[in-house]
Structure 1
């Protein structure tokens, strides 16, 4: 499993990104395996939306789902090399961003990321969906 200190070279020409826990770029050795995780959101096991109207809770549950999938592949957030966060409310997502950064901090993870504002997500009531690429 990769750890941020022994295999990743962070490339950051500026520092405004640091509070958001992402690097502008990362130079990593080529992984032998790549895990593509479809957009994860705040849904229960039966697919129903939970935490409607609570962006922080939606972020937290989406990250939880990602961590479960990563663990199934014997990976952690430290192995994520690209994260895309889709949201219907950029301001609310930024205000609740700690729900994501606290999980990244546990693993010392600062994957390159994009926060993308969209008009709607797949299910009514979803405010956030996160897709990632990971490798080891």
Structure 2
């Protein structure tokens, strides 16, 4: 698979994402449901703890990727939803380090929402991967 960043501007690079990516030579696409800080029983973990929930939501994204025979480096789009933008931006480095280690800066959308599926959830990640 070949990924070519598309960045008509460069301001976004410091925020860890590309404006777009051309993806060629792939054979499979995984569209992942939004992942949150839920455990294997569907219970909220670390209610209200933004840093912990970012890491746990990304763990859950990686679990779905693994089940599909993919890795974090296969993610080509990552949408992010949070109930508290200011707090999210203070802790997004938790995810940034892991994306950087995987060698990716996927395009995506970051939105503040009034609520998520269950009380206590503060972040949700929605990924698309190709391999």
Q: TM-score range by the shorter chain?
A: over 0.9
CA RMSD of aligned residues (A): 1.2
Comparing 25-34 with 91-100, greater Cα deviation is found at 25-34
Q: Deviations over 1:6-45 (max 9, x none)?
A: x111011222222332110001115311111101001111
Aligned to 2:3: 8
Q: Distance in 2 between matches of 1:61 and 1:91?
A: 19
Aligned to 2:14: 19
Q: Quick one: which of 122, 125, 129 aligns to 1:130? A: 125
Q: Quick one: which of 33, 40, 52 aligns to 1:38? A: 33
Question: Is 1:93 matched up with 2:95?
Answer: no
* 8 Å CA contact retained: 1:17, 1:24: yes
Aligned to 1:47: 42
Aligned to 1:118: 113
Unaligned runs of 5+ in 1: none
Deviation at 1:59, TM superposition (A): 0.3
Q: Distance in 1 between matches of 2:69 and 2:27?
A: 13
Unaligned runs of 5+ in 2: none
3-state SS, counterpart of residue 31 of structure 2: strand
